[in-house]
Every structure is written in C-alpha cells, then in structure tokens.
C-alpha cells in the first residue's frame, strides 16, 4: 500500500570524523514546484551540483532548504597551511598609512586592519580527503532519511483526514438519496397545483400533465450525477491508498466538485441543497490538505 507524503518535512543529522564536525539540516514547506536552496561551507562549495542531483530526484516537490555545517577540529586547524599575500598586504598598509596621516588619525591599529582585508591571509582548504566527503555525503543522506520519515508520518495524518472527509461526503450523498422520493413528489404536486391555478381540474389534460411531469423529472434528475460522484469518491480513495499522487488527487477532487455543484443546481430542493453545502465544506477541507501533499 502506497503512502502519501506531506511536503512539510524536517530532518537533522550530526556526525564527525577525525577532521570534521558535521551537521546537516533539511526543512521544507509546500510548493507547486521544487525550490531547492543549499547552503554549504566554503570548503565544499564545489559539491553543490552533486548534492543538488542527489536530493532533487528524492524530494520531488516543495520549497526545501538544506543547511550543511562542517567545522574543522582544532587539531586540524593547527595543520592548516596559511599563506600571506605580502605584496597585497604592503599595498594596503601604505595606502591606509597615507590616509591616516592625511586625516591625522592614529596608525597603531593599521596592522589589525590589514590582516582582516580580503585575500591578505589565505587558508588552504583545497585538501579535502575523499573520506571527508564520504562522511559528509552520508550525513546528508541520513538527514534526508529523517526528513523523509517526517514527511511520511505527516502524510499518514493527512491521509486519515482525507478519508474522514470522504466518509462525510458519502454520508451526505446517502442522505440525498433519501430525499429523492419527497423531492419527486414535490415536483408532481407543484406542477399539478400550477395547472389547477390556470385551469379547472376537469379541463386538465392528464396526458399533457404526465408529459410535463416526465419532462421536469428528467430535466432535474440527478441520478447520473450521484452515480458519478460515488464513482469519483471511490476513485479518490483507491488512488489515495495505491498511487498516492497529490496532483492526481487534486484532479479527482475537481471532478468531485463538479458533480456536487451540478447536483446543487439541478436539485432545486432545500434538504438536498443543505447536503450539497455540507459536501462542499468537506471538499474544501480536502483541497486545502492536498496543497501539502507531495
């Protein structure tokens, strides 16, 4: 049995090896399309495409943010190779010194300013061992597993909610069937009274009356709509339990809405129209939940 998934999800995974402390967090909200935002440390910026390819096929739809934090351990920071761009540092220093002197500003903090300027100090982060990337990739995959489990759990709640709404619509459809007999009797009585108002009863053509009655009963007959509505409800339930596709469920919900609207417009009978209103209310609940179904 297939399970629907919510587009709302959350997953987090933390791990470490001898070089890194790693944390991956994945969050998502509903969206018609996939919007994937990935935040990576500078050391692993070149892995953006690979991570995007890894997650795109698995996530499907939604507005998803992935935040990866990878911190070097202190022992590794000691071994980092630092390079100094001396010509650039001298250039910065000379220009700042000249500026300070022209403005009569103190020059004792220029050194601290220079080493903080772009490209003066560089740490060589290019040496990333394959095992470092392997553990980071595993961390991302573990975060996704938690994220996906969250979506499945949320999807189970949504699925039950949808089934409850379908059950309510079905019960109102059964109530409509109960009202069908009184509605037809009402049509007969209204037509007969209309004829009496305009003619004496003895002058009424009974054959013409029966023809008019058949015309009105056929014109406002809702048997087909009830049958199609019952079929759509069953079809929705089957797809909810088997294929579990949010877009397809939404298309079926639209068809359910068409049949409910037609019943309401053709019935012209207050008790049935009350049931139609209640069915519409449940259908709106279904549509609202489907916005969050993958």
| Domains, in order of start, for the chain | 9-77+131-153 (3.30.230), 82-123 (no CATH), 156-290 (no CATH)
pLDDT in tens, 200-249: 555 555 666 566 656 665 667 788 899 999 999 999 999 988 866 888 99
- The Cβ of residue 78 has, within 10 Å, a number of other Cβ atoms equal to 8
- pLDDT at residue 57 greater than cutoff 90: no
Beta bridge partners of 25: 12, 67
- pLDDT surpassing 90 at residue 8: yes
Contact status, residue 87 vs residue 77, Cβ threshold 8 Å: no
Residue 149: other Cβ atoms inside 10 A: 14
pLDDT of residue 118: 80
Give the span between the Cα atoms of 241 and 20, in whole angstroms.
Answer: 43
Opening angle at CA 144, ends 143 and 145, nearest 5: 90
Tokens of 284: 């709106």
- Name the residue with higher pLDDT: 60 or 191: 60
Higher-confidence position of 86 and 244: 86
Instruction: Tell me the Cα Rg of the chain.
Output: 35
Summary mean pLDDT of the chain: 83
pLDDT of 197 above 70 = no
Lowest mean pLDDT among 2-11, 164-173, 180-189: 180-189
Q: How far apart are CA 202 and CA 210, in angstroms?
A: 15
* 270: helix, strand or coil: helix
Average pLDDT over residues 170-179: 90
Distance CA 7, CA 26 (A): 12
- Tell me if 36 sits within 8 A of 55, measured CB to CB: yes
Residues 97-117: pLDDT tens digits? 888 888 887 878 888 888 778
Inform me whether the pLDDT recorded for 149 exceeds 50.
yes
pLDDT attached to residue 94: 85
Contacts (Cβ under 8 Å, ≥6 apart) of 279:
168, 169, 172, 173, 260
- 65: which 2 tokens? 């943010």
Closest CA to 266 of 205, 212, 221, 215: 221
In three-state secondary structure terms, 60 is: coil
Contact criterion met (CB below 8 Å) for 172 and 180 = no
The CA distances from residue 81 to 75, 132, 290, in Å, are 13, 18, 53
pLDDT value at 41 more than 70: yes
The pLDDT value given to residue 78: 47
Q: Which of 216, 217, 183, 213 is nearest to 204 (CA)?
A: 213
pLDDT at residue 90 is higher than 70? yes
Q: Cβ distance 249 to 238 under 8 Å?
A: no
Query: Which pLDDT belongs to residue 113?
Result: 83
Contact between 278 and 168 (Cβ < 8 Å): yes
Q: How many CA atoms lie within 13 A of 161 on its CB side?
A: 19
Asked whether residue 131 carries a pLDDT value surpassing 90, the answer given is no
**By percentage, how much of the chain surpasses pLDDT 90?**
40
Q: pLDDT tens across 175-192, in order?
A: 988 887 776 666 666 665
Q: What is the pTM of this model?
A: 0.71
pLDDT tier at 47 (50, 70, 90 boundaries)? confident
């Amino acid at each position: 049995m297939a399970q629907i998934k919510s587009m709302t999800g959350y997953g987090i995974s933390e791990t470490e090896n001898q070089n890194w402390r790693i944390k991956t967090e994945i969050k998502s909200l509903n969206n018609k399309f996939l919007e994937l935002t990935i935040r990576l440390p500078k050391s692993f910026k070149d892995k953006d495409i690979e991570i995007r390819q890894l997650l795109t096929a698995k996530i499907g739809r939604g507005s998803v943010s992935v935040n990866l934090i990878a911190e070097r351990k202190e022992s590794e920071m000691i071994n980092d190779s630092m390079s100094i761009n001396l010509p650039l540092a001298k250039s910065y220093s000379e220009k700042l010194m000249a500026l300070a002197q022209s403005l009569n500003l103190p020059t004792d903090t220029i050194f601290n300013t220079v080493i903080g300027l772009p490209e003066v100090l560089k740490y060589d982060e290019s040496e990333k061992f394959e095992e470092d990337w392997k553990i980071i990739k595993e961390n991302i995959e573990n975060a996704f597993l938690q994220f996906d489990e969250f979506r499945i759990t949320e999807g189970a709640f949504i699925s039950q909610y949808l089934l409850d709404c379908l059950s309510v619509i079905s019960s109102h459809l059964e109530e409509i069937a109960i009202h069908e007999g009184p509605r037809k009797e009402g049509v007969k009585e209204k037509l007969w009274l209309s004829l009496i108002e305009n003619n004496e009863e003895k002058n009424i053509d009974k054959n013409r009356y029966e023809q008019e009655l058949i015309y009105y009963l056929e014109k406002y007959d809702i048997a087909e709509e009830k049958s199609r509505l019952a079929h759509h409800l069953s079809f929705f339930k089957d797809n909810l339990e088997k294929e579990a596709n949010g877009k397809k469920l939404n298309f079926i919900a639209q068809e359910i809405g068409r049949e409910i609207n037609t019943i309401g417009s053709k019935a012209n009978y207050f008790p049935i129209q009350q049931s139609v209103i209640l069915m519409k209310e449940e259908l709106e609940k279904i549509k609202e939940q489907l916005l969050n179904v993958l």
